[in-house]
Amino acid sequence: MKSIIFFAPLIVVNLWHGVVIGMGRVRGGAFASISESAVRSRRVFWAHRVVHVLGAGCFLVFAAVSLPSLRYIAVVLMAAAVLDALQALY
């Protein structure tokens, strides 16, 4: 179960990034980053935020469940999840 919590957000967020880049290209834009592609539309940017926050939430759950066995790695993963969510929100 823990591996699903860990790998599902990785797969979903990376697939989402592909969709965002694809939508940017279809609209005729060649943007320098995923974030630039995401901010082109309010709806896409809102969805981008939701996907990242949900992904970060899954990482936080995984890290919390794995804290006894992963120790410092789990703490680093928690910090990365929080920073990723903050980056997507701001």
Confidence label for 2 from pLDDT (cuts 50, 70 and 90): low
Which contacts (CB < 8 Å, 24+ apart) does range 15-23 have? 16/47, 16/48, 16/51, 20/44, 20/48
Measure the CA–CA gap between 29 and 61, rounded to whole angstroms.
Answer: 37
Q: What is the pLDDT of residues 16-73, one digit of tens each?
A: 999 888 887 776 666 667 878 888 788 989 999 999 999 999 889 888 888 888 899 9
Checking if the pLDDT of 82 tops 90, the result is: yes
- Predicted pLDDT at 4: 75
At residue 56, what are phi and psi to the nearest 5 degrees? -65, -35
Coil vs helix vs strand at 40: coil
